[in-house]
A and B are shown apart, each in its own frame.
Chain A
């Protein structure tokens, strides 16, 4: 009964390093999302995907790239990490989009020094 699984749970990077966050869902959902959560800012959408092979920009896409090569996986990449990308990252999925229930992962705490 996994739902949405995010790896890693914690990561510390130095400025300029790169990394990939992995999100996997086992509910056969079409829609997947990457959010970041910062104090006082709520959840802000980075990128989203409406199906395998498709991605779209959200509210704060700069500095991030994504890929959805397989329906169950949604990857978030940071090519050159900056301290402003220190945040908690959440992946979510849903069956038919924004009007339906989102299922969230447990988050990745990322610190960029």
Chain B
């Protein structure tokens, strides 16, 4: 079983829709939770960063972490064609030495 599970999609929505992307994880030591966005043939770029449980909002994007359920979500409001990309969740148990553990990514297509 993978430490981080993510539905690969693809997920296709019309422009303006609300998008929900999710990941589950098994390691209760994870404290840092991130969402990376990856456009085709590009490297991932950080989109959202959350420490421990709770919500964080940045413009049209909201990240939620529920540590009791080991479940994280990314919501995109008023989705745009430019949001079409692969979204990778990532998490880390501590600061410093260890690198991130990534989900396999969900491919999102926003239809104009």
Q: Which A residues are closer than 8 A to B by beta carbons?
A: 4, 33, 35, 40-45, 48, 50, 56, 58, 90, 92, 96-102, 104-107
Contacts and interface: CB of A to CB of B under 8 A. Distances in A.
A41 B104 contact: yes
B88 A102 contact: no
B92 interface: yes
A40 B102 CA distance: 11
Given A42-B103, A42-B105, A98 B43 contact: no
Given A40-B8, A41-B104, A58 B99 contact: yes
B102 A104 contact: no
A65 B31 CA distance: 30
B6 interface: yes
Nearest to A41: B104
B98 to A, nearest CB: 5
A106 B95 CA distance: 25
Nearest to A97: B96
A105 B42 CA distance: 8
23 contacts: A41-B104, A42-B88, A42-B104, A43-B100, A45-B99, A48-B99, A56-B97, A58-B99, A90-B44, A96-B96, A97-B96, A97-B97, A97-B98, A98-B32, A98-B93, A98-B97, A98-B98, A98-B99, A99-B32, A99-B95, A101-B49, A102-B36, A104-B45
Given A43-B100, A90-B44, A100-B95, 20 more contacts: A4-B43, A35-B102, A41-B104, A42-B6, A42-B102, A42-B103, A42-B105, A90-B43, A92-B43, A96-B96, A97-B95, A97-B97, A97-B98, A99-B31, A99-B92, A99-B95, A101-B46, A105-B43, A107-B41, A107-B43
Classify the secondary structure of B's interface with A.
loop
Interface of B: 4, 6, 8, 31-32, 36, 41-46, 49, 51, 88, 90, 92-100, 102-105
Contacts of A97: 95-99
